[in-house]
Structure 1
């Protein structure tokens, strides 16, 4: 180093150097605020990188540690056998571990983590609600023991096939949006299913839902559906969402006598006469039809024509049509 370069080197005093360092983040647990007989512990946003020792709380039923820095479910968690609800939403978990002893769990939320595989849940035979949204899961598996499950949420993962859920006879709500699914399959035995949500996948037709006769809501938007055939037997269906597909006809919807909501905007329907398929649905209240080709044929008269064709409807797209008409 030259003399000139050496002269330009500035050495900070020790105190000033220490002041420039970033403060070290520490877990901000304050368990002293909870009584020993507390049934609910909330450690959300505590910047936690581990689950603290909670063994002093012998009656704890609900534990929330949302939005923290957890990388694993520590062994201390396995002693909390009284837990009925565990919420670890938005952490940095890479695997499911140390949950086998939590046999009283009814609700488990592991959404927004980095989990790649469903494991370690088979012994949780009281579990009714399971959230695994926004992880890195590629396969539905290892759910054999969860026969009491009522809600399963696996949206925003990497799943390609609907499989290994036929035994979930008590399932009422199944959410699989934003995956890589090309075919509706493996759901035929889910006789109690009321909500099936598979938007944002790679479907090109509706199939294998004929036996889901208790289905009330079906969400299939944002993919490549060509028509809506396949839903005709769903007599209890109150909501059908097929928005943003490649649909060219509404034929088939007229058989859904209980339909309240029909969302079919952003499709490829050319003829306004297709709306007449909806005219005999007396329970229909809301329709989303905008941005189909027939919408652009006459945007000024579009709403008026829909109102005249479907006088039973109270909302067209995002606007209450009767209020707009006053």
Structure 2
């Protein structure tokens, strides 16, 4: 079992050895058995109800998270060793008590009730590379700058209306924000300062057209893939020509790749005034 495996790692013995009463090292075996019993007791999941807030929503606590990671998903008993942590579908409203999970590189928090902000509960995860927060209640993304290795952020299907200046790390490569409440270019202005942002999904928002929006995308230095389906901006005259000519590194727009011939034509159109 997982418990036996971890006990063997800690105490340098197998469960078979612990139960071998014919071993000549009886005293050592008895000590090891006692340690193993203490280990099992400490690792046993709690049977009492998990704590809830005044509105009946579950509260994220270290004890609950430890049980989920170790017991339900077969993770390591030492929190800092776990690199992929699955905490989705728990109805949590706040990210907290994850300070011991310092080695996490991939964190799943989708399908909870987290919001209105992400908060500072992930600031200690210096190795975090991918964060899945889709299907929550987030309205503002303003506190992930400390996660300087973060490359993928999925906040689709939330209630986001904009991004705070300095709220995202420069390492970010892929940002998925479909099905939110973004309507203006000003709400997206902080994204233009992200030097490594290559993939941006803004489909199913309410983004309007206008020079501000086209200029904003043109200022994104690394942008290669852009999804804007189901936004009012798509109805703007010369929508595709303006984006392809303005975003010099763009290789994919909505559901269609940007071929060389199209780029040449769009840039010639833009140059002609």
Q: TM-score range, shorter-chain basis?
A: 0.5 to 0.7
Instruction: Provide the TM-score with structure 2 as the length reference.
Output: 0.65
Q: Distance in 1 between matches of 2:122 and 2:41?
A: 21
Cross-structure match for 2:130: 195
Aligned length: 204
Cross-structure match for 2:200: 262
Cα offset, 1:260, TM superposition = 1.0
Cross-structure match for 1:164: 97
Point out where structure 1 has 5 or more consecutive residues left out of the alignment.
Answer: 1-76, 83-99, 105-119, 125-135
Q: Distance in 2 between matches of 1:121 and 1:240?
A: 43
CA contact (8 A) 2:218 2:243 kept: no
Cross-structure match for 1:154: 87
Cα offset, 1:123, TM superposition = 5.4
3-state secondary structure, aligned to 1:218: strand
Q: Deviations over 1:36-84 (max 9, x none)?
A: xxxxxxxxxxxxxxxxxxxxxxxxxxxxxxxxxxxxxxxxx467x34xx
Note if 1:296 corresponds to 2:243. no
Cα offset, 1:233, TM superposition = 5.0
CA contact (8 A) 2:93 2:112 kept: yes
Cα offset, 1:224, TM superposition = 0.8
Structure number with the bigger relative contact order (C-alpha 8 A, sep ≥ 6) is 2
Point out where structure 2 has 5 or more consecutive residues left out of the alignment.
Answer: 11-39, 45-56, 67-76, 264-273
Q: Structure 2 matches for 1:16-165, cutoff 5 A?
A: 77=1, 81-82=4-5, 139-142=60-63, 143=66, 145-165=78-98
Give the alignment's Cα RMSD to 1 decimal.
3.0
Q: Deviations over 1:148-207 (max 9, x none)?
A: 111112223322221111221111111111111113121111122111111110011112
CA contact (8 A) 1:209 1:230 kept: no
Q: Structure 2 matches for 1:223-234, cutoff 5 A?
A: 223-231=158-166, 233-234=168-169
Name which one, 1 or 2, has greater alpha-carbon Rg. 1
Cα offset, 1:306, TM superposition = 1.6
Instruction: Provide the TM-score with structure 1 as the length reference.
Output: 0.55
